[in-house]
Amino acid sequence: MESALQFFFTYKEAIFIIALSIFLGIEVISNVPAVLHTPLMSGANAISGVIIIGGIILVGHTDLSTFSLNLVLGILALIFGTLNVVGGFAVTDRMLEMFKKKKK
Amino acid sequence: MDKVLGELNGAVYTVGSTLLELSYLLAALLFVYGLKLLSHPETARRGNLWAAGGMVLAMLTTLLLHKNADGGGIPLANVWVILAAIGVGTVAGWIISRRVKMTAMPQLVSLFNASGGAASALVALLEYPNAMEGDINSILVTVLGLIIGTVAFSGSMIAYGKLDGKVGDVMKPFMTYFNLALLVGLIVLAGYLVVSPNPPVQMLWAIYLITALSLLYGVTFVLPIGGADMPVVISLLNALTGVAAAMAGFIYGNQAMILGGILVGAAGMILTILMCKAMNRSLLNVIIGAFGGGGASVQGEEGNIKEITLSDAAVLLSYSHNVVVIPGYGLAVAQAQHIAHELDTLLEGKGVQVRYAIHPVAGRMPGHMNVLLAEADVPYEKLVEMDSINPDMPNVDVAIVIGANDVVNPAAHHDPGSPIYGMPIIEASQAKNVIVMKRGMGKGYAGIENHLFFEDKTRMLFGNAKDTLQKLVTEIKNF
């Protein structure tokens, strides 16, 4: 019991963020019409590409003077992350464009 | 930028690092705002762009302002390497997203999801040796990020393969137990790693083993899941990628990553639950996969199949007042959305009211049918959700079922032994006449007989949906 309380106190900020983000995510998304299920999923998918920030930090502070497996994997992470971000947002836009077109 | 502003908890902070944190706050707000706009048809496109703007902002400020623990910024040479990598990803992502056919959208979403999962897994893998010795929290989030990211990656790759028809369903009775054992093994190994007093560098063998087991788990977890359950799995994998990104956010103490990741995780979870509800099944049931195999359902009373000729179908449709089209995965496979729209405009020209009834899990991802029909320019006022169309079904003269099966199967109401018993369906059997377009008498993905096909008012039109619709359109034009 005591250690659980300690854990909460030590990481209280993180726990606050998680709890509120989950609530926010649920509030923002609920009651979305079925028409938008796919674009919403693919747009959210693109947001999960935020991992690219991690990739930038990682490769940004990797020593370039020696060739290392870490560098290669870091670059790979960056490429994958960008693919997720750019592809995700672009394809969502393309889908939503179709929804728009026929509204006229 | 390097001007020191003050000191907090023993560490100095500069103008640059303060601006960086501010930009992360702004990016996080843009994600929330974008997602909010994305959930309304009028504003969805703007929402997507706002979220993308947040992402670009966070990327730029990280590149310019991020400092490591020693206060060193990102060296110029590294900036070039990063820009080159981002350039490659951008070009590839852009080309793929422009070229892909709308019918291939579920595969594409899975592929992008796999690539996000892979990025999270790689970041966690590379950061693990830097995790602080004895700091349970930092090791925990790294290991969780690795496991979740890897499972999302290999799971999404299998989902991609299945949706693209490259990988079949593999369901062996022992797989449930195998997966359970694998999952328990993973958790035990991860727990050992987290509480182990050894420094991370000495535990690399365990981290590689975890990576390998997670890769395997992603494969064996998605392999047995049937095609009809794909919408649930895709949403779930989507949620996992978000959570993996959030874990990486904890590694760096980066609030934008944490908030963005959790937001996606929550949104993905909601879609998953919505899809499960639409099938009246629990998530656990989908994952363990009781579908398909349990075909102990009533077989005896099959009765007769009655076919209809194209000209009879043309006459029937032309003299109707009220027609409802019920599309399913077969429509997507045959890429028949454009010709379906041609049929509905032709009939509207004859004064027939035509609507489309969309079941929430029709197709292979949430909202699949809506995207396809939007591509074919079907106005979205004509797309009616299941709950709104069902009360009106008895007034419908003809229900045309195109490549759908389980979502119109009355066994969901009548047959407690059926695997889909209790699933809400579109009440096609309430319509005055039913025309079913189907490739053959094969069973649906759930592998269950559909008594709708044997009813007196049901007529079958066998063949590829696109060809059949094409012939039907010609027939009506000549009529």
CB of B332 within 8 Å of any CB in chain A? Answer: no
Window 295-324 of B, Cβ < 8 Å to A: none
Q: What CA–CA distances, in Å, run from B376 to A77, B224, B345?
A: 36, 33, 12
Residue B218 is encoded by which pair of tokens?
Answer: 């992603």
* Catalytically annotated residue among B135, B406, B415, B467: B406
Active site (annotated) includes residue B415 = no
Q: Is B469 within the bounds of a domain?
A: yes
Does B263 reside within a domain?
Answer: yes
What is the reported pLDDT for A103? 47
Q: Do B122 and A32 touch (CB under 8 A)?
A: no
Shared domain check, B279 and B380: no
In this structure, are B314 and B380 located in the same domain?
yes
Q: What is the pLDDT of residues A20-45, one digit of tens each?
A: 989 888 888 887 888 888 999 999 99
> Chain B partners of A6 at a C-beta cutoff of 8 Å?
none
Could you tell me if B200 and B314 lie in one domain?
no
Please tell me whether residues B263 and B330 are part of one structural domain: no
User: For the segment B317-367, what is each residue's pLDDT rounded down to a tens digit?
Assistant: 999 999 999 999 888 888 899 999 999 999 999 899 999 999 988 888 888
pLDDT of residue A101: 57
Beta bridge pairs of residue B356 = B325, B383
Residues B259 and B327 in one domain: no
User: How many residues are listed for chain A in this entry?
Assistant: 104
Domain that holds residue B161: 104-291
* Residues B152 and B223 both lie in one domain: yes
Tens-place pLDDT, residues B362-416: 888 888 898 889 888 888 888 898 989 999 999 999 999 998 888 898 888 888 8
Based on the domain organization, do B401 and B448 belong to the same domain? Answer: yes
8 Å CB contact of B32 and A24: yes
B161 in a structural domain: yes
**Parallel, antiparallel, or unpaired for β B322-327 and B433-438?**
unpaired
Regarding whether B224 and B152 lie in a shared domain, the answer is yes
Q: Which portions of chain B are predicted below pLDDT 50?
A: 290-300
Query: How confident is the model at residue B299, as a pLDDT?
Result: 46
Q: Write out chain B residues lying below 8 Å of A60, CB-based.
A: 62-63, 66, 74-75, 78-79, 82
Domain end call among B227, B257, B291: B291
- Inspect the interface and report whether the beta carbons of B263 and A38 lie closer than 8 Å: no
B226 phi and psi, to 5 degrees? -70, 160
Q: Note whether B256 and B330 are same-domain residues.
A: no
State yes or no: pLDDT of A104 exceeds 50: no
pLDDT tens for residues A40-65? 999 999 999 999 999 999 999 998 88
Evaluate whether residue B171 is within a structural domain. yes
Interior/surface letters B345-358, b for 16+ CB within 10 angstroms, e for the rest? ebbeeeebebbbbb
Q: Is A40 helix (H, G, I), strand (E, B) or coil?
A: helix
CA distance A67 to chain B (A): 13
Give the domain-ending residue among B244, B260, B291.
Answer: B291
Amino acid at B276: C
In whole angstroms, give the CA distance from residue B126 to residue B128. Answer: 6
Tokens of B254: 């980066």
Out of A17, A93, A103, the one facing B259 most closely (by C-beta) is A17
Strand order in the sheet with B322-327: B383-385, B353-358, B322-327, B398-402, B433-438, B458-462
Reported ipTM: the value is 0.93
Same domain, B140 and B280: yes
Domain boundary among B261, B291, B321: B291
B274 plus B391 within the same structural domain:
no
DSSP-assigned letter for residue B329? H
pLDDT of residue B10: 75
Look at residue A4 in the predicted model and tell me its pLDDT. 83
In angstroms, the Cα distances linking B346 to B204, B341, B442, B469 are 66, 9, 30, 12
B358 is a domain residue: yes
In chain B, the number of structural domains is 2
Q: Which of B66, B241, B375 sits opposite A60 (nearest CB)?
A: B66
